[in-house]
């Protein structure tokens, strides 16, 4: 696609993610840019390398940009990580978290994320990294407490050693402290999320009707 668009100044927008980008602190749009674009590594490094290859198409006359998404874009019809966590809580009879549950995940309303993709295609400068972040950091324990209340199951810790056994593939991520900011994205494109936050959306109850 990059070869086809070279020299055209036309947009090329791809999705990437923020989870694990800067563990333990608030990740910004500047993080994750020091990866080798030709790196042949699994997992997050491969994702970052692919994004960097797209961003470097800016040097070839492509108006390329990357929209980084949080682990869940919430709202009606969500099939992401949060519905999976609800299903796991139902299965085990426990709304769980790892450690003390104080680690944070960012979230965004799916319609706000969609609007950012439109803005990126319309007018993001070439080589832009954009963050689709509404909630900078919601603790996993707070998520678990809403789930426990709606499912009428206890809320409690899961040992880190048992995380994969309890949460499945999400056990690799559930303990990550990975908040993220969209401050630069808002300033660049005038994007402002207007949807409700993750906890408020979850507390409306529709997630528990369809999970």
- Pull the structure tokens for residue 155: 């809320």
Global confidence as pTM: 0.94
The Cβ-side half-sphere exposure at 120, using a 13 Å CA radius, reads 24
Q: Provide the pLDDT for residue 36.
A: 79
Convert the pLDDT of each residue in 29-75 to its tens digit: 999 988 877 767 666 778 888 999 999 999 999 999 999 999 999 99
CA angle 199, 203, 205 (to 5 degrees): 135
Task: Show the domains of the chain with their CATH numbers.
Answer: 2-210 (3.40.50.720)
CA distance 166 to 56: 40
Convert the pLDDT of each residue in 108-141 to its tens digit: 999 999 999 999 999 999 999 999 999 999 999 9
- For residue 97, pLDDT over 90 is answered with yes
- CA 12 to chain centroid: 20
């Amino acid at each position: 696609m990059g070869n086809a668009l070279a020299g055209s100044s036309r947009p090329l927008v791809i999705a990437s993610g923020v989870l694990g980008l800067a563990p333990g602190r608030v990740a910004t749009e500047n993080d994750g840019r020091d990866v080798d674009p030709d790196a042949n590594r699994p997992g997050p490094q491969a994702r970052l390398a692919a994004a960097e290859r797209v961003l470097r198409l800016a040097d070839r006359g492509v108006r390329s940009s990357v929209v980084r998404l949080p682990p869940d874009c919430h709202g009606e019809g969500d099939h992401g990580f949060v519905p999976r966590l609800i299903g796991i809580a139902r299965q085990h009879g426990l709304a769980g978290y790892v450690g003390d549950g104080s680690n944070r995940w960012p979230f965004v309303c799916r319609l706000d994320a969609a609007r950012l993709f439109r803005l990126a295609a319309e007018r993001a400068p070439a080589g832009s990294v954009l963050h689709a972040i509404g909630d900078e950091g919601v603790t996993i324990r707070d998520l678990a407490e809403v789930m426990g209340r709606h499912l009428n199951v206890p809320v409690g810790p899961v040992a880190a050693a048992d995380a994969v056994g309890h949460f499945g593939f999400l056990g690799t991520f559930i303990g990550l402290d990975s908040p993220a900011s969209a401050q630069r994205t808002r300033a660049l494109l005038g994007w402002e999320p207007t949807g409700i936050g993750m906890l408020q959306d979850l507390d409306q109850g529709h997630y528990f009707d369809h999970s």
